[in-house]
Amino acid sequence: MEQQKRYGHFDDAHREYVITDPKTPWPWINYLGNEDFFSLISNTAGGYSFYKDAKFRRITRYRYNNVPMDNGGRYFYIKEGDTAWSPGWKPCKTPLDFYECRHGMGYTRITGRKNQVEASVLFFVPLKTWAEVQKLTLTNQSQEVKTLKLFSFEEWCLWNAATDMENFQRNFSTGEVEIEGSTIYHKTEYRERRNHYAFYHVNTEIQGFDTDRESFVGLYNEFSNPDAVVEGLPRNSHAHGWSPIASHYIEVTLQTGESRDFVFLLGYVENEQDKKFSAPKVINKEKAHALIARFDTTDKVDKAFAELNAYWDALLNIYKVKTGNPKLDRMVNIWNQYQCMVTFNFSRSASFFESGIGRGMGFRDSNQDLVGFVHQIPSRARQRIIDIASTQFPDGGCYHQYQPLTKRGNNDIGGGFNDDPCWLIFGTVAYIKETGDFTILDEMVPFDNQPGSEVTLFEHLKVSLDHVINNLGPHLLPLIGRADWNDCLNLNCFSWDPNESFQTTENVSEGTKAESLMIAGLFVVTGKEYVALCNKIGKHEEGQRMQRAVDAMIEAVKKHGWDGEWYLRAYDFYGRKIGSNECEEGKIFIESQGWCTMAEIGADEGMVAKSLDSCKKYLECEHGMVLNNPAFTKYIYEYGEISSYPEGYKENAGIFCHNNPWVIIGECMAGRGNDAWSHYAKILPSYVEEKYQTLHKVEPYVNCQMVAGKDAFRPGEGKNSWLTGTAAWMWYTVSEFILGIKPDYDGIRIDPCLPETAGDYTVSRKFRDAEYDITIRPNGSQKGVKQIVLDGSPVEGDVIPYAAGKHTVEVTM
């Protein structure tokens, strides 16, 4: 029963996932860092670090498509006699007597034991710090004195992660380092335009070092058996060009029972232009010294770690549920929120599936990520909204992404996605509802970052919806442009050239009739939000104008977007139906079912219920709902990338977890709590974790973007973990629609939708300057609040009006 094999388990008390077998079915990673300095770390300590931007400011090197897969990272080699081993098993791969990796909130602790020596490494990025701390604790658990040789290892990336992998005629000559005491400085290109360097330090005297990879590893060896480690002798090499690294060599003697800490620090420094050098060719190390001094003792490191823990305690204290179902509670209280923070930080840029080179911060992606994060640190969400809006064009159109370092939009992964503008409303409204901060609407925000082009953020919202209204097709439905949320439904691309990307190839826009029902639904949902916002701030005329556009869209969907049992997906370039019973393949698609049911289009006419039933009938399978059905079995020139994927994978009938919540919310709006819950639990990591780990492959503590669908060769296999809009959508769904705690302009709306088996539960929710302790008694009902009692007095309606202070709320359904 290979399927049943387990590689780890949750430890909720410590908010950790504990991996007990290093040979996980895929590297199971964690993210370190909250704001500027970030690291990815796998369960064997593989991965890399960067400052702000995984493409332009890569600090350490990583090789994708490696063999074995996850090779390269921050490595320790411990040598006793002829045996060399690593606490994370890799890279030495010497069998360990004990191995454990604990991924926690912003930290990872890896412990290995060999021949009664224990090595435990705590990795974390302290708050507001441009460095990764690695606290290594060596303990002699034997009855004899142990004499050990310790080697550390990091490999520098020559800053630009893309050219680092391409431009070897230059790269092999530029590498430069400096060595000072126990610190190795990486200063490639510092002599010219760069004003930043990195360093790797240890808080003890060293007995040797290496900075040149070939000297340390040897040209014909691997990370598992570097020459220096095999011989037990550092080379004291000084890199000139080729591949600079940083390795410390330390001789350690441990008495019986003795334990010793070593603090390694991987740091990043920026200097002012006129203070770059302390002497000709010598980098100014002042800031590095100061940074090192902050973490040069175990006490200081422990204090910084306690601060990080307190930071996460506070963040995870904002929304806390107690349902008595540990599988639900741990996702809501710990992992889902944690994943939301990570996706907010990275958008889709850097994971073990995205190299950190191709994709920056997505316009659509980041707006969605906001919704999962805004309750945690609203001020950062506010800044993000301004950053995103600043890349917009005057007509409401958008760059699809921007680079975090420059905050400038670019077309690297295409442009002209006609759903993009609507997402700005989705994100902004979520921010205002959480904070009550309407002043954001008055912020002056440029178009395309052009000074002088500033208008209010409200104006950006307006042009966003106008972009849809100004781009309607023959059925008065939104033109799809390059694509909508489904990047791979490329109705205007017509590509036969394998050397061009579907995302960036030229679009035929002249004469297109390609319209999207997904955008239609999205427009109705965000349009209604916009109308409510207008009314709230007294812009009634503008509200009425938009209400008319929304009504017209609803009519257009009813008239031209309904197929009888479900909503159509789109019209193609020629005006032919997509996602219709008349089609041979791809008869039904999930996106339009999700958005049109969330928008409640045709609810009175029974369309919503029929659409939701059709999702169950045609899209649902054991592992979730697939994107479309039946899968495309051949490439369709008129549809583009969607039909390029083999059946059951990615956009071609994969379970694209991201869009499952749309239907789940549709179910909740319709009051079908049993169905909502059963869809939800199918893709909830803690349920998947319990069911199978080998087949699923990817991290069991977070959602992945895609799980292979029912038509796939291996249904249930997950891919593209961590950075996915699924995180925010799962959070939005469970926190607001299932558990029913919805921030609103004037307070919190209580509107749960639950399976009839749900028992009583409590939610404690910090909201602005208030704190609500809410007890909900479902009494077997799936939806419908009967009574709300606030601090002992009954409340009219379903909104608890906001008032600062502590409150108790009792809800009866």
State the residues that interact with ligand NOJ by CB under 6 A.
348, 362, 364-365, 485-488, 651
591 part of the interface to ligand BGC, by CB under 6 A: no
Name the residue nearer to ligand BGC (CB basis): 354 or 736.
354
**Which of 600, 651, 736, 798 lies at the binding interface for ligand BGC (CB under 6 A)?**
651
Q: Which two tokens stand for residue 732?
A: 């939005």
647 part of the interface to ligand BGC, by CB under 6 A: no
Cα Rg of the chain (Å, integer): 27
Three-class DSSP category at 734: helix
SS3 labels along 444-458:
EECCCCCCCCCEEHH
Q: Are strands 741-744 and 747-750 parallel, antiparallel or unpaired?
A: antiparallel
Would you state the torsion angle of the CA atoms of residues 87, 88, 93, 97, taken in this order, to the nearest 10 degrees? 60
Q: Residue 187 CB, nearest distance to ligand BGC (Å)?
A: 34
Say which entry of ligand NOJ, ligand BGC, none residue 413 contacts (CB below 5 to 8 A, set by partner kind). ligand BGC
Name the residue nearer to ligand NOJ (CB basis): 488 or 670.
488
**Which of 292, 488, 785, 811 lies at the binding interface for ligand BGC (CB under 6 A)?**
488
State how far the Cα of 685 lies from the Cα of 327, in Å rounded to an integer.
Answer: 9
State how far the Cα of 751 lies from the Cα of 155, in Å rounded to an integer.
Answer: 52
* DSSP secondary structure, 372-398, as one string: HHTTT-HHHHHHHHHHHHTTB-TTS-B
487 part of the interface to ligand BGC, by CB under 6 A: yes
* Burial of residue 313 (number of CB atoms within 10 Å: 0-12, 13-18, 19+): exposed
- Tell me the site size for ligand BGC, rule CB under 6 A: 7
**Which of 376, 503, 629, 724 lies at the binding interface for ligand BGC (CB under 6 A)?**
503
Q: Residue 639 CB, nearest distance to ligand BGC (Å)?
A: 13
Q: Residue 426 CB, nearest distance to ligand NOJ (Å)?
A: 13
Looking up tokens 């003792």 gives 297
Give residue number: closest CB to ligand NOJ: 487
| CB contact at 8 A, 171 and 293 | no
Give residue number: closest CB to ligand BGC: 487
Q: Residue 348 CB, nearest distance to ligand NOJ (Å)?
A: 5
Contacts of 734 (CB under 8 A, 6+ apart): 328, 331, 332, 336, 680
Q: Residue 156 CB, nearest distance to ligand NOJ (Å)?
A: 30
Q: Residue 705 CB, nearest distance to ligand NOJ (Å)?
A: 7
| CB contact at 8 A, 48 and 157 | yes
Say which entry of ligand BGC, ligand NOJ, none residue 749 contacts (CB below 5 to 8 A, set by partner kind). none
* Given 210, 412, 420, 487, the catalytic residue: 487
Name the residue nearer to ligand NOJ (CB basis): 432 or 642.
642
Say which entry of ligand BGC, ligand NOJ, none residue 486 contacts (CB below 5 to 8 A, set by partner kind). ligand NOJ
Binding letters toward ligand BGC, positions 614-643, x by CB under 6 A: ---------------------------x--
Which residues are registered as beta bridge partners of 478?
A: 472
Of 202-261, which residues contact ligand BGC (CB under 6 A)? Answer: none
**Which of 78, 131, 413, 469 lies at the binding interface for ligand BGC (CB under 6 A)?**
413
Name the residue nearer to ligand NOJ (CB basis): 348 or 587.
348
**Which of 382, 650, 697, 710 lies at the binding interface for ligand BGC (CB under 6 A)?**
650
State how far the Cα of 38 lies from the Cα of 349, in Å rounded to an integer.
Answer: 12
Name the residue nearer to ligand NOJ (CB basis): 108 or 486.
486
Q: Residue 561 CB, nearest distance to ligand NOJ (Å)?
A: 20
* DSSP secondary structure, 494-533, as one string: ----TTS-TTTSPP--TT---EEHHHHHHHHHHHHHHHHH
Burial 755-775 (b: 16+ CB within 10 A, else e): beebeebebbbebbebebebb
Which residues are registered as beta bridge partners of 268?
A: 198
- Lay out the sheet containing 177-180: strands in order across: 8-11, 16-19, 98-104, 107-114, 117-124, 131-140, 259-270, 196-202, 183-186, 177-180
Q: Residue 103 CB, nearest distance to ligand NOJ (Å)?
A: 24
Q: Residue 425 CB, nearest distance to ligand BGC (Å)?
A: 21
Name the residue nearer to ligand BGC (CB basis): 70 or 651.
651
Say which entry of ligand NOJ, ligand BGC, none residue 503 contacts (CB below 5 to 8 A, set by partner kind). ligand BGC
State how far the Cα of 702 lies from the Cα of 733, in Å rounded to an integer.
Answer: 15
Name the residue nearer to ligand NOJ (CB basis): 485 or 566.
485
487 is catalytic: yes
The H or E element spanning position 773 is: strand 770-777
Residue ranges binding ligand BGC (CB under 6 A): 413, 487-488, 503, 641, 650-651
Catalytic site residues?
Answer: 487
